[in-house]
Amino acid sequence: MPELPEVETVRRGLEKLIIGKVVKAATSNTPKSFPNAPADVERFLTGAEITAVRRRAKVLMIDLDNEYSLMIHLKMTGQLVYVGVTQPFSSEDTRAVKNGSLAGERRSPSEKVASLPDHFDTRAAEVLSDETSELRFGAGHPNDSLIGELPDRSTRIIIEFTDGSHLYFNDQRKFGWVKLLPSIEIPNIDFMKKVGPEPLEADFTWQEFAERFKRRAKTSIKAALLDQTVVAGVGNIYADESLWGAKLHPQRLVATITGDEFHLLFDELRSVMNLAIEKGGSTDKNYVNAEGKRGSYMDFARVFRREGSPCPRCKATIVKFKAAGRGTHICPNCQVL
């Protein structure tokens, strides 16, 4: 599942592309993914202009100019893919077409994708976009739908804009969703009322961070970190990474953690999340971000999925065990209970 940095990467990517676009039509063949009355879609989505792309925890919100919003949760396998308008052929192409030499030679984007090597990286993405003259931009669950021809079998929702570009919501397992609702209702949704503060907000302090944990004094620090009502958006990767950074054992009880330790944990959590956003997301799979670049935070992970490797700090062997119901990675030398 994408974590906060990945969803933020999606948000930043979409923000550059879809603000100001006007929805021409929205269609879905999967009511579970798009649980909105057709009359509402027609009335409040069709013809609306996109004014903002926001994020709260792992939820994306696309605001419209009519005080409605689309709320989006990618869940396990959701992804958003923006496909811009294909540009006219270049003059060279036009000449080739006139000469008949291009017929049948211009491969579709999906054919190109099929031939991309497994280590497909930024350079490949740029080449792809140059050759097809198509501005494309996929984020979310890492599979071929991010870069292949759309719609495909995993496409649940198609939003077409008046300029001919499209936003596809693909979701193999159908746990994700896109809901249309009045913007004013969003803060009243149960999850929105309960979710903790955004860890990366500039005005969030380590003292407030420490204060949030008091309600979970009797649980382990890892369980509390993963509790979305304590702090928003911390998943397994960033919990393990920040606990290693702060030299805290994940099973330490919250009540035993000192102010200095909370301060350090706060700094570590923000720095690993910011690094992940800077690197275009993580995650534990071949995550592809909004610009088709593969997320590379995992290249920088110090303990997550590094069991058996030496600790970057003390060279002791990193171990994996279960804590807070999740696979947990620590250095047994740096993080003692």
3 is catalytic: yes
Closer CB to Zn ion, 230 or 334, in the complex = 334
Interface size with Zn ion, residues (CB under 5 A) = 7
Question: Could you say which of 128, 195, 276, 334 contacts Zn ion (CB under 5 A)?
Answer: 334
Compute the least distance from the CB of residue 33 to Zn ion, in Å: 44
Residue 320 found at the interface with Zn ion (CB under 5 A): no
Confirm or reject binding of residue 333 to Zn ion (CB under 5 A). Answer: yes
Selected catalytic residue, list 56, 58, 302, 306? 58
Nearer to Zn ion, 265 or 288 (CB): 265
Structure tokens, 201 = 């907000």
Q: Which one, 287 or 304, has the nearer CB to Zn ion? A: 304
Nearer to Zn ion, 95 or 315 (CB): 315
CA distance linking residue 219 with residue 149, whole number of Å: 47
Identified binder of Zn ion from the candidate list 76, 127, 314, 336, rule CB under 5 A: 314
Give the range of 14-22, 124-132, 215-223, 308-316 binding Zn ion by CB under 5 A.
308-316
Closer residue to Zn ion (CB): 8 or 241: 241
326 is a catalytic site residue: yes
Across 11-135, the runs of DSSP E, i.e. the strands, are: 23-28, 50-56, 59-64, 68-73, 78-83
Asked if 313 touches Zn ion (CB under 5 A), the answer is yes
* Per-position DSSP letters for 142-182, written without gaps between them: -SGGGTS-SS-TTEEEEEEETTS-EEEEEESS---EEEEEE
Cβ distance to Zn ion smaller for residue 86 or 333: 333
Q: Which stretch binds Zn ion (CB under 5 A): 94-102, 145-153, 272-280, 307-315?
A: 307-315
- Min CB(315)–Zn ion separation in Å: 7
**Contact between 290 and Zn ion per CB under 5 A:** no
- Between CA 306 and CA 318 the distance in angstroms is 7
Binding region for Zn ion (CB under 5 A) out of 118-126, 271-279, 300-308, 324-332: 324-332
Binding residues for Zn ion restricted to 200-229, rule: CB under 5 A: none
Distance of CA 167 to the CA centre of its chain: 15
Helix then strand then coil, % of the chain, to nearest 5: 35, 20, 45
| Burial (CB count <10 Å: 0-12, 13-18, 19+), residue 108 | exposed
Give CA–CA dist 134/75, Å, rounded: 28
In this structure, what DSSP letter does residue 184 have?
A: G
Q: Is there binding between residue 277 and Zn ion (CB under 5 A)?
A: no
Spell out a b/e string for 129-158, using b for 16 or more CB atoms within 10 Å of the CB, else e.
beebebebbbbbbbbebbbbebbeebbbbb
Q: How far is the CB of 334 from Zn ion (least distance, A)?
A: 3
311 binds Zn ion (CB under 5 A): yes
Question: Given 54, 112, 247, 326, which residue is catalytic?
Answer: 326
> Are 103 and 93 spatial neighbours (Cβ–Cβ below 8 Å)?
no
45 to 64, contacts with Zn ion by CB under 5 A? none
Q: Are 225 and 326 in contact (CB under 8 A)?
A: no
Q: How far is the CB of 303 from Zn ion (least distance, A)?
A: 9
Name the minimum Å distance from CB 270 to Zn ion: 21
- Residues with Cβ within 8 Å of 282's Cβ and at least 6 positions away in sequence, in order, are 3, 5, 6, 237, 276, 295, 297, 298, 301
The smaller minimum CB distance to Zn ion, of residues 164 and 310, is found at: 310
Q: Which residues of 185-221 are buried (b: 16+ CB within 10 A; e: fewer)?
A: ebeeeeeeeebbbbbbeeebebeebbebbeebeebbb
Told to check if 331 binds Zn ion by CB under 5 A, we report: yes
The catalytic residues are 2-3, 58, 326
Tell me which residues touch Zn ion (CB under 5 A).
311, 313-314, 316, 331, 333-334
